């Protein structure tokens, strides 16, 4: 248990229960991504790629009609990161980014894909609205707030607590949002309610067989866990 885990376990145990389950579920997914795609997709992909932004990119030639898909992990080089998904053929690729129109990753993802597939003609980001994860998992002022919390070893001020534990901040599931798109999981229209978006994506993770505690979210106003309603 690191310093932040110890802090949340001490001052916000209900939040910590939710947070720690989320991390374990993410680790399970990332370690088995390709197997999950092969098991749940309805499409016949010839190749599945996992690309990360910090590794050397080896160019690869694929035919114009060869169906491919994959996920890209963008390392922000500051301890944070973001997952997007892509699919298509050798000429055109669609990209899903759960941030939607507010994404800051469009240029970087396009660069990576055209570097990986030099013959690629077009990269198209398909989510042309505000997505279900507008923060991209990056919590505003997190480093400053957590430094204060750890230095003072006491509960956060109310405003800072609301930032760290908001429903938007709890949505750390860019990898699941991208995966659900890859496997064509039907979804209702994205809402402007961050709580509903968080509940939907966590309910969609049943295929990962997470522990029962995963199906809770944290209510920052009541400082308690709330079980997610069934589908």
Contact 181, 100 (CB under 8 A): no
**What order of strands is seen across the sheet that includes strand 92-96?**
47-52, 68-75, 81-88, 92-96, 122-125
Identify the pLDDT of residue 206.
87
Tokens for 177? 């949002």
Please say if the pLDDT value at position 48 is more than 60: yes
Q: Map residue 172 onto helix, strand or coil.
A: coil
For residue 230, the Cα-to-chain-centroid distance in whole angstroms is 22
pLDDT bracket for residue 153 (50, 70, 90) = very high
Percentages of the chain per state (helix, strand, coil), in multiples of 5: 40, 20, 40
Q: Which helix (H) or strand (E) holds 110?
A: helix 106-116
Q: Which helix (H) or strand (E) holds 124?
A: strand 122-125
Please say if the pLDDT value at position 231 is more than 70: no
Q: Kindly report which listed range (67-71, 88-92, 120-124) carries the lowest average pLDDT score.
A: 88-92
**Which residues, at least 6 apart from 231, have a Cβ–Cβ distance to it below 8 Å?**
203
Contact 135, 168 (CB under 8 A): yes
Is pTM, for the whole model, over 0.85? yes
């Amino acid at each position: 248990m690191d310093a932040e885990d110890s802090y949340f376990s001490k001052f916000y145990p209900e939040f910590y229960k939710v947070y720690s389950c989320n991390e374990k579920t993410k680790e399970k997914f990332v370690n088995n991504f390709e197997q999950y795609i092969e098991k749940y997709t309805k499409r016949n992909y010839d190749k599945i790629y996992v690309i990360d932004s910090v590794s050397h990119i080896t160019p690869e030639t694929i035919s114009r009609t060869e169906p491919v898909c994959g996920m890209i992990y963008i390392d922000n080089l500051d301890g944070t990161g973001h997952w997007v998904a892509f699919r298509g053929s050798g000429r055109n690729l669609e990209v899903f980014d759960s941030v939607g129109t507010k994404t800051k990753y469009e240029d970087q993802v396009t660069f990576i894909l055209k570097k990986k597939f030099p013959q690629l003609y077009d990269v198209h980001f398909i989510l042309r609205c505000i997505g279900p994860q507008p923060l991209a998992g990056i919590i505003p002022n997190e480093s400053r707030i957590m430094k204060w919390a750890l230095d003072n070893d006491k509960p956060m001020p109310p405003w800072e607590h609301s930032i760290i534990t908001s429903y938007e901040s709890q949505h750390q599931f860019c990898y699941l949002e991208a995966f659900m798109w890859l496997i064509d999981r039907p979804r209702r229209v994205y809402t402007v309610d961050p709580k509903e978006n968080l509940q939907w994506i966590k309910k969609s993770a049943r295929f990962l067989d997470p522990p029962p505690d995963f199906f809770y979210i944290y209510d920052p106003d009541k400082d308690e866990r709330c079980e997610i309603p069934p589908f």
